[in-house]
Amino acid sequence: MVKICCIGAGYVGGPTMAVIAYKCPNIEVVVVDISVPRISAWNSDRLPIYEPGLDDVVKHCRGKNLFFSTDVEKHVFEADIVFVSVNTPTKTSGLGAGKAADLTYWESAARMIADVSKSDKIVVEKSTVPVKTAEAIEKILTHNSKGINYQILSNPEFLAEGTAIQDLFNPDRVLIGGRETPEGYKSVKALKDVYSHWVSEDRILTTNLWSAELSKLAANAFLAQRISSVNAMSALCEATGADVSQVAYAVGTDSRIGPKFLNASVGFGGSCFQKDILNLVYICECNGLPEVAEYWKQVIKINDYQKSRFVNRMVSSMFNTIANKKVSILGFAFKKDTGDTRETPAIDVCQGLLGDKAQLSIYDPQVMEDQIQRDLSMNKFDWDHPLHLQPMSPTTKKKVHCVWDTYEATKDAHAVCILTEWDEFKKLDFQRIYDNMQKPAYVFDGRNVVDANKLREIGFIVYSIGKPLDAWLNDIPVVA
């Protein structure tokens, strides 16, 4: 029986390994993590991450060929294939601060593998890492090898949160990069054999190591670029009276462009897009390509612009002051169907509103209050350090209330601000919400989920991203 061990039981390691175990009953999969609460949660009825379909997959295999453990060394020692899916934060100090990847967790995982191994191993990069990380890891392993043969593969994961199980069951492609040597080809084949249990041959792409590593950064940069492109258009639409949904539809029907990832929004979030683009920028700069670096940097600048434009629009519409006004925030996760808040645009929007002294009442169906409070008091990039729990600022806490119900969140509020496209927000009783709000009552829809015309009939002043503005808003200049 082939034994797989995955280091890191997070959003990538957990679901990916659960699906491998589900699809390959002849393989034993153990997911290990240094975090005791995380592993306990994976072994409980309440999994540490919310992901549609994940519970069923885990329940089906847990205890049979899928195990979760904190005994990292034992399971690495026993494994034939070791996946590494640990955090790769952005550096917050020193060389490359704010851009380069901090490989502390990766390096410590590699050194531990070298310490405990007594048999040959295939080591697979699963976390997104900068190009040429595999080479560095290979050096750590071979210089400490004690005669053991290590083969390094890059197998980036393309799943998106909220649809992870679907994406893993039916991937557009599986990408495996390896060394172009006989041993390299052999280990690529071994990993290919795992995926071949359920993915057809033509969807398993094999490349050299660097191409696989760069492809992941490039794919995320291209996806994020589409969102920044449509968001840039949304600002122009608002200024000119065009409707960004109509423009995006017209653009997306060109088969060369395609319809996906053209939804204008308050901005993209998530653990990958910003981090991976910053990495790409850093790699370009290090390779003497400042123009290319500048090009990709712009994708992030537009994303930041979109978030601050949204806050400015809110403040200026409400007579330029929101001090002590109750603003109801609906949705805090970075997208629907996940409880993940990493780099969610809600953090910047809420911080912007708190900066103008608003009182926030926040509701998200999947995000817990302590997570929200922590997010709002954390420094940039600190979210990706598992051992680093920031103390909460007491002043933030006083201004932010989290509730478990939309109608409570919106009661007596001056404005409703939608920051995640949860399906339940499409079905709200807006007449009831309006009746219980202060007047004039505003809705700022950062995800274009509400029917603005219906809400205007009720009496709301509505702002939707990239749509023709209410006369009320049109008269107010916004400084971005």
Q: What are the residues binding ligand ADP (CB under 6 A)?
A: 7-13, 32-35, 38, 72, 85-87, 105, 108-109, 127, 271, 386
Residue 336 vs 414, nearer CB to ligand ADP: 336
Distance CA 441, CA 145 (A): 67
Distance CA 181, CA 138 (A): 14
How would you list the strands of the sheet with 204-208, edge to edge? 66-69, 27-32, 2-7, 81-84, 121-125, 150-154, 174-178, 204-208
Instruction: Please report how close the Cβ of residue 192 comes to ligand ADP at its closest, in angstroms.
Output: 23
Residue 326 vs 342, nearer CB to ligand ADP: 342
Q: Which residues, numbered 432-471, are part of the site for ligand UDX (CB under 6 A)? A: none
Instruction: Please report how close the Cβ of residue 92 comes to ligand ADP at its closest, in angstroms.
Output: 16
CA angle 143, 149, 150 (to 5 degrees): 75
Query: Which one of ligand UDX, ligand ADP, none interacts with residue 187, CB within 5 to 8 A by kind?
Result: none
Helix (H) / strand (E) element for 444: namely strand 442-445
Q: Which residue has the tokens 């600190």?
A: 382
Distance CA 451, CA 445 (A): 10
200: how many CB neighbours lie within 10 A of its CB?
9
Listed ranges 32-40, 76-84, 115-123, 268-276: which one lies at the site for ligand UDX (CB under 6 A): 268-276
Strands 66-69 and 150-154, by their bridges, are: unpaired
Helix (H) / strand (E) element for 37: namely helix 36-42
Q: Is 88 annotated as a binding residue?
A: yes
Residue 106 vs 195, nearer CB to ligand ADP: 106
Query: Which one of ligand ADP, ligand UDX, none interacts with residue 463, CB within 5 to 8 A by kind?
Result: none
Q: Is 87 annotated as a binding residue?
A: yes
Listed ranges 27-35, 266-274, 282-290, 394-402: which one lies at the site for ligand UDX (CB under 6 A): 266-274
Query: Which one of ligand UDX, ligand ADP, none interacts with residue 335, CB within 5 to 8 A by kind?
Result: ligand UDX
227 binds ligand UDX (CB under 6 A): yes
Instruction: Please report how close the Cβ of residue 148 comes to ligand UDX at its closest, in angstroms.
Output: 31
With contacts defined by CB under 6 A, how many residues of the chain interact with ligand UDX? 19
Binding mask 46-85 for ligand UDX (x = CB under 6 A): ----------------------------------------
Query: Which one of ligand UDX, ligand ADP, none interacts with residue 8, CB within 5 to 8 A by kind?
Result: ligand ADP
Radius of gyration, alpha carbons of the chain:
24
Distance CA 125, CA 27 (A): 19
Listed ranges 29-37, 256-264, 301-309, 378-386: which one lies at the site for ligand UDX (CB under 6 A): 256-264
What DSSP character marks residue 424?
G
Instruction: Please report how close the Cβ of residue 260 comes to ligand UDX at its closest, in angstroms.
Output: 7
- The total number of residues written for the chain in this structure: 480
Instruction: Please report how close the Cβ of residue 25 comes to ligand ADP at its closest, in angstroms.
Output: 24
Q: Which residue has the tokens 């998106």?
A: 160
How would you list the strands of the sheet with 359-363, edge to edge? 400-402, 359-363, 326-330, 415-418, 442-445, 461-464
334 binds ligand UDX (CB under 6 A): yes
What DSSP character marks residue 357?
T
Helix (H) / strand (E) element for 44: namely none
Query: Which one of ligand UDX, ligand ADP, none interacts with residue 72, CB within 5 to 8 A by kind?
Result: ligand ADP
In contact, 265 and 231? CB cutoff 8 Å: yes
Residue 141 vs 247, nearer CB to ligand UDX: 247
Give me 157's structure tokens: 């994961």
The answer to whether 237 is a known catalytic residue is: no
Q: Is 295 exposed, middle or buried (0-12, 13-18, 19+ CB in 10 A)?
A: middle
Amino acid letter, residue 240 = T
272 binds ligand UDX (CB under 6 A): yes
Q: By beta-carbon distance, which residue lies closest to ligand ADP?
A: 10
Amino acid letter, residue 21 = A
How many CA atoms, within 13 angstroms, populate the side-chain half-sphere of residue 174?
A: 25
Q: Is 15 annotated as a binding residue?
A: no
Which residue among 13, 48, 171, 270 contacts ligand UDX (CB under 6 A)? 270
234 binds ligand UDX (CB under 6 A): no
Query: Which one of ligand ADP, ligand UDX, none interacts with residue 38, CB within 5 to 8 A by kind?
Result: ligand ADP
125 binds ligand UDX (CB under 6 A): no
Residue 108 vs 431, nearer CB to ligand ADP: 108
Q: Residue 430: which of 443, 420, 446 has the closest Cα?
A: 443
Which residue among 335, 411, 414, 467 contacts ligand UDX (CB under 6 A)? 335
Distance CA 250, CA 319 (A): 36
In contact, 314 and 417? CB cutoff 8 Å: yes
Q: Which of 5, 24, 61, 272 is catalytic?
A: 272
Q: Residue 150: which of 208, 76, 65, 74 has the closest Cα?
A: 76
Catalytic residue IDs: 272
**Which residues are annotated as part of the binding site for NAD(+)?**
8-13, 33, 38, 86-90, 127-128, 161, 272-275, 342
**Which residues are annotated as part of the binding site?**
8-13, 33, 38, 86-90, 127-128, 161, 272-275, 342
